[in-house]
Amino acid sequence: MDERELLEEYVTGGGLMQLATVCEDGTPSACTVWYVSTFRPDRLRFISRQDRLHSTNIRRDPAVGGVILKDPPAELGSTARGVSFVGRARELPGTGIDAKIAAFVDRWPGAAGVLGAMPEGASRMYEVTVRQWILFDEKNFREHPRREVPGA
C-alpha cells in the first residue's frame, strides 16, 4: 500500500480522535470525540454540544489539529502507527445536512437521538477540512516513518 492508502485505512478504521483547538487566551485545548471521515475532499465530522469549550473555540477560531491512532502501542518501543492532521473546523447548521447525519448514525447508531434533536437540541455536527495529514508508520516505513500527505 502507498502512503495515501494507509492513511485512509487508519483514519477510516479509527473510532476516536483527539482534537486540539485554540482558547480565547491563545492556549491550546484538547478533547476526544467520535468521528466519521470522508476523502477527496478530506473531511472529519464529529458531534458535540454547542456549549463545550472546543465548540466555543471553533466558532471563534477555526484552526484545529488532531491525532488518530492505529492500534495504540501497549508499551514504549512498540511499533507506532497513526495519523495527525491540521485544518479548519466549522459548526454545521442544524438542518439541511441529512446525508451527513445519516453517515454519522450509520457508523455510530447511538448518536441518532442527539442528531435527531437538531436544530432545537444542544448539539451540532462539526466538520474539519483537512489541510495536511502526517502519517506516522514505523511498521511500513521503518527508516523514515513520518510522511507528510497533503489534504485532498
- The CATH number of residue 28's host domain is 2.30.110.10
User: Cα(26)–Cα(28) distance, rounded to whole angstroms?
Assistant: 7
Query: Per residue in 92-120, pLDDT tens?
Result: 998 899 999 999 999 999 888 887 777 77
Full domain range(s) for residue 28: 3-150
C-alpha cell at 75: 508499551
- Each residue of 36-75: pLDDT tens digit? 999 999 999 999 999 999 999 999 999 999 999 987 777 8
Q: What are the helix (H) ranges across the chain?
A: 3-13, 53-60, 98-107, 112-116
Total tally of structural domains belonging to the chain: 1
pTM for the whole structure? 0.92
